[in-house]
Chain A
C-alpha cells in the first residue's frame, strides 16, 4: 500500500517538475531575455532568422512551448487518474518502461529547445564578420572545471557499477549477455559524457561573442553536471540491479521516476541556478560592443 502511495506521489512530482516547474522557469528566462535585450539594442544576439524572435514570432514560439508542456502535464494527469481508477499497484512487470517513455515525452520540448539553441549559435557564428580573433595561451585542465574528488568519485562509482554487474550477472546468475549489455550501456553512456566534457573544455566556441569568463562558467557548470550525471547513473543502475536481485522489483517504477527527476534537478536546475541572467554579460551582443574579439 505504502509503495503504491509513494509511486503516485513520485509520478505526480515527475509531472510537476518536468512539465510545469522547469518549463515555467525556462519560459520566464526566455521572456526576460527577449524583453531586456531586444534586437534593437543587442543585434548580435539575433542573427537572421532569429531577429524576429522579439516580436510576434517569439511570443508564438513561447506560447507553443507552454502549450506542449501543458498538454504533456495533462497527459500525465490523465495517466495518473486512469491508474487510480483502475486500482493500479506497482508490481514490477515492466511499468518502469511507461515511466521512461513518459519522461522522454516530457523532455522532448526541452530537447527541441536545446537543438534550436545550437542552431542559434551556428547562425551567430555564420553572421560574425569580425576578422580579429583572440585566445588564451593558458592550457585548460579538467581539474579547473571539476573538483578532483568529484572526478575520482565518478570513476570509482563507474568501476563499482561494472564490478557489480560482473558479480551479479556473470558470476552469480550466469547471464553473460545481460552482463555484457549492462557494461556496454555504462561504457557507452560514460563515453558520451567524456566526449561532451572534452567538447566543453577544448571544443569550438559555440557563441562567438561570449566573454571568456562566461564561457568558462558555462563550461564548468556543464562539465560538473556530466560528472554528477555519471555518478547518479552508476548509483541508479546499482540500485536497479539490487532491487531485481532482492526480488523487490515493484520498487522499480519509483526508482526510475526519482532518478529522472534528480537528473533534471541536478542538470537543468543547476544550469538555471548557476547561470543567472544578471551575471551574463549581454553587452557583447550590442552593436560594436566589446568582446567582439574575446575568444578564449
Chain B
C-alpha cells in the first residue's frame, strides 16, 4: 500500500497524510491491526519533516484511526473503519453553530460571543 503527497498542494502536508491514511482505511487497503511505518521511516521516505508525520499520526490517534502500542509501533485501530467516517471537524462546527445561535437568541452580540469564546479557550472564567 502506497500513499502519495504533493508538496506544492495548498492543503497542508499533515492533512494530506491524514486524508490518505483515512482513505486507505476506508477502502480496506489497511485493515484493523495492520502495522504502520514509524514516523522517521515515513518522513524519510517522503522527504518531509518528522514533525509533520508526527502531527498527522497524533491527529489520527485522536480520531481513533490508529493506536500506538509502546515500543511495538503504530497499528490501525480495531474500530478504524467506523471511526474514519466520522468527521470531527463537522461535529465541532455543528456544535459551535448551535451554541452561537442560542447565544444570539439570548441577546449576546457577536463581539461578546467572540470575547467569551476566546476567554473560554484560554481557560479564563466569565466574560
Q: Residues of A within 8 Å of B, CB-based: how many?
A: 20
Chain A neighbourhood of B2, CB < 8 A: 134-137, 296
Interface residue SS majority, chain A: loop
- Chain B interface size, as a band, is 20 to 34
Q: Does B3 sit at the interface, judged by CB under 8 A?
A: yes
CB <8 Å contact, B4 and A132? yes
When distances are taken between beta carbons in the complex, the residues of chain A under 8 Å from B46 are: 133-135, 295
A157 to B36, CA, bound (A): 33
Q: Which residues of B contact A134 (CB under 8 A)?
A: 2-5, 46
As a 0/1 sequence over residues 130 to 174 of chain A, the CB contacts with chain B under 8 angstroms (1 = contact) are 011111111110000000000000000000000000000000000
- Taking the closest CB of chain B, its distance from the CB of A9, in whole angstroms, is 46
Contact of B1 among A136, A140, A295 (CB under 8 A): A136
In the complex, residue of chain B having the shortest beta-carbon distance to the beta carbon of A198? B40
Say if the beta carbon of B41 comes within 8 Å of chain A.
yes
Contacts of A295 in B (CB 8 A): 45-47
Q: Which residues of B contact A132 (CB under 8 A)?
A: 4-6
- Give chain B nearest CB distance to A140 CB in angstroms: 6
Bound-state Cα–Cα, A136 to B30, Å: 12
The smallest C-beta distance from B30 to any residue of chain A, in angstroms, reads: 7
Does any Cβ of B come within 8 Å of A49's Cβ?
no
When distances are taken between beta carbons in the complex, the residues of chain B under 8 Å from A87 are none
Within 8 Å by CB of A296, from B5, B36, B45, B73, lies: B45
Chain B interface, >50% SS class:
mixed
Q: Which of B42-68 contact A (CB under 8 A)?
A: 42, 44-48
Q: How far is the CB of A211 from chain B (nearest CB, A)?
A: 12
In chain B, what residue has the closest Cβ to A199? B44
User: B47 contacts A204, CB within 8 Å?
Assistant: yes
Closest Cβ–Cβ distance, residue B73 to chain A (whole Å): 6
Query: B4 to chain A: which residues have CB within 8 Å?
Result: 132-134, 293
CB-CB nearest in chain B for A215 = B45
| Docked complex: A114-141 residues within 8 A CB-CB of B | 125, 131-140
In the assembled complex, which residues on chain A have CB atoms less than 8 Å from the CB atom of B45? 135-136, 205, 295-296
Q: Say whether, besides A131-B8, A293-B4, A139 and B21 are in contact (CB < 8 Å).
A: no
5 contacts between A and B (CB under 8 A): A131-B7, A135-B42, A139-B38, A295-B46, A296-B45
CB-based closest 3 A-B pairs: A135-B45, A134-B4, A131-B8
